[in-house]
């Protein structure tokens, strides 16, 4: 597995290398400022600095599994390891943490997007998810330029488009792993991300993206799911010492 998109200091059993996509206007930090890691760190400077560059089929990605992380995502190594073990059983799907859903708004006669915590979901955002590297190839070479240009112009919705693509291929929903209640709280605590989440234009753009994407695919490919996978013994009344992913219990 390769960590893609984050410069955090991950000491993980399954990680092959860390790839950082430097997609901002600020200059790269000096080498001595990067954290020490037990695996190679490869930095790619985005040429066009657009959202779709996140899903280019970079030759440096050599493992089948890609762990995609936003720059401000906070995950423990235990959470990442567990998500990867789940992905190994479902390598054709997106497996991860932040879930979202779609719905049909009968009043407006259009598809809607929601981030509310409900009993089902149809998307797992790529800000903290694992998927097969083949989807980078499909995103780049199968999807029309018009949709990718829309994503790049808005600087938004690339995660939604990837979910549309994967569900269109598999006819299956993504897989959410153990509930991470602090994910949204942590993200809302980050000033740059919090301003985006609170921006009504940002949310309205995602609604527009949903309908534009559905129109191109010819139907709504997203599939709802009520399944969440937790570690065996999660929250069971047994000694914490008997649990493999004991740190997840404390989240």
Residues identified as active-site: 159
How far are the Cα atoms of 19, 112, 145, 211, 213 from residue 109, in angstroms, in the given order? 42, 9, 27, 10, 15
> Which residues touch 134 (CB under 8 Å, ≥6 apart)?
64
Give the strands of the sheet with 17-22, arranged side by side.
41-45, 17-22, 2-4, 65-69, 128-132, 95-96, 175-177, 228-229
Q: Residue 132: name the closest of 83, 80, 55, 66 by CA.
A: 66
**Segment (H or E) for 196:** helix 191-198
CB burial readout 202-234, b (16+ within 10 A) else e:
eeebbbbbbbbbbeebeebbbbebeeebbbebb
* DSSP state at residue 27: P
């Amino acid at each position: 597995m390769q960590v893609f998109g984050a410069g955090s200091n991950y000491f993980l059993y399954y990680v092959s290398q860390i790839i950082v996509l430097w997609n901002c206007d600020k200059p790269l930090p000096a080498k001595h400022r990067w954290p020490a890691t037990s695996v190679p760190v490869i930095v790619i400077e985005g040429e066009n600095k657009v959202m779709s560059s996140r899903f280019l089929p970079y030759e440096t990605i050599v493992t089948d599994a890609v762990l995609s992380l936003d720059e401000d995502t906070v995950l423990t190594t235990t959470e990442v390891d567990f998500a990867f073990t789940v992905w190994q059983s479902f390598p054709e799907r997106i497996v991860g943490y932040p879930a979202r859903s779609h719905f049909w708004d009968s009043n407006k006669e259009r598809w809607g997007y929601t981030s509310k915590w409900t009993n089902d979901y149809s998307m797992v955002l790529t800000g903290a998810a694992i998927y097969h590297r083949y989807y980078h190839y499909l995103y780049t070479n199968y999807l029309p330029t018009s949709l990718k240009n829309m994503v790049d112009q808005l600087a938004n919705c690339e995660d939604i488009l990837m979910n549309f693509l994967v569900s269109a291929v598999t006819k299956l929903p993504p897989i959410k792993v153990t509930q991470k209640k602090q994910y949204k709280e942590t993200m809302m605590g980050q000033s740059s991300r919090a301003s985006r989440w609170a921006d009504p234009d940002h949310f309205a753009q995602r609604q527009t993206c949903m309908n534009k994407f559905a129109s191109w695919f010819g139907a709504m490919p997203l599939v709802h799911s009520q399944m969440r996978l937790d570690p065996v013994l999660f929250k069971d009344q047994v000694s914490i010492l008997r649990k493999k992913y004991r740190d997840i219990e404390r989240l």
